[in-house]
A and B are shown apart, each in its own frame.
Chain A
Amino acid sequence: MFPRTHPRRSLKWRLTLCLALCLALGGGLSLSAGAAQSGLAYLGEELKALQADPFANPGLLWVDRGTALWQADPAPGVPACASCHGAPESLRALIPTLPRWNPATQRLENLEGLIRQCQSERQHQPPAPYESEALLALTTRLAQGARGLPLSDAIAPEAAPALARGEAFFRERRGQLGLSCADCHERYAGARLRGDRVSEGMINGFPIYRLTWQTLGSRHRMFRWCNEAVRAEPYPFGAEPYLELELFLRHRGAGLPLETPAVRR
């Protein structure tokens, strides 16, 4: 029996990562071109196999938990998600279209936001906090039900300004290191970083099980991590700029199949 071992996340590790990456960038490494590729394409064989393993993919622990939460009454007399929605797969078609524009509120809403809204408005419960195990589990279960569906490029005309702001955020240099998302995930996608490769920064695998985190995390956790990697102040979970970024990344990765729960380095 050989349990896997790997390095733990620490601030030191993160800074070393930045340094190593900057060196790699300085060296002017490979550039990517052509159609969008999932982060899966940038993984080594071992992690590809782990993601594909229908038993050992660690993200499935959250899928199991999500199934249980979906079916359970949150409190006596309060209906379960399943009692109104049926199977989680009934929301399959919705997942690739998120985040989406809500004309009533004039705001973007993502999957976490919709789940929390149902918890508070239809179950009259306190919504699960962002990045809590319960919210991650439900999000993962719903997204897993849509595996294989391509990320949609359908964007309401009213959301055009939000999409443009998302793209601007993606291309803006930020942090003490003055790097934009595009610097790392477009210009230097494919650059080697201690045997690993920087991917195109796609969102089709989320929530992802990330070895660096030793746990599962949401899209917004990833954005926070990437902001911190260049020593920029991260935004709170669910913040408007992150919803706009999510919208832009859905557009940018349109057509990529959903692969939740993805496994990443």
Chain B
Amino acid sequence: MGTLSLPVRLALPEEAQAGRVVSLRLLLQHPMETGYRIGEDGARIPRHLLTALRVSYGDRVIADLTLRPAIAANPYFALSFIADQTGPITLEVEDDRGRKLTETRMLTVVP
């Protein structure tokens, strides 16, 4: 799978107390072109969509979404989960051109 590179804003604390709810916020810069829109030059703008978003915490998948064409450009996602162990939070985003973006952040859990 090729590498997908796009501007990402990711908000996630570096540290959390065990048993506390942690929130992850994500903003992706992407046109989410459906392929039905006509551009300024009168030509159809080629389809270009994000298709999947997965978030894992350690070896558990905590969110697994299929992204649909009706989602607006520059999509925003928010997700909450409970901090129970120190581990990597991994974000994977895929597009319809077979490319993938992966981002990992460490979450340290303190008692």
Residues of A within 8 A of B (CB): 1, 3-6, 8-11, 55-56, 58, 60-61, 64-65, 211, 214-215
Contacts and interface: CB of A to CB of B under 8 A. Distances in A.
Interface in B25-76: 25, 27, 29, 31-32, 34, 37-38, 63, 65, 67, 70-76
Contacts of B32: 214
Interface string B11-24: 10000000000000
B110 interface: no
A56 B25 CA distance: 8
Q: State the majority secondary structure of interface residues on A.
A: loop
A3 B27 CA distance: 10
A71 B78 CA distance: 30
A128 B79 CA distance: 37
Contacts of B65: 1
A58 B74 contact: yes
Contacts of A61: 7, 9, 27, 29, 74
Interface size class of B (residues with CB under 8 A): 20 to 34
Interface of B: 7, 9, 11, 25, 27, 29, 31-32, 34, 37-38, 63, 65, 67, 70-79
Given A1-B65, A3-B67, A60 B27 contact: yes
Contacts of B78: 1
B76 A4 contact: yes
A211 B32 CA distance: 13
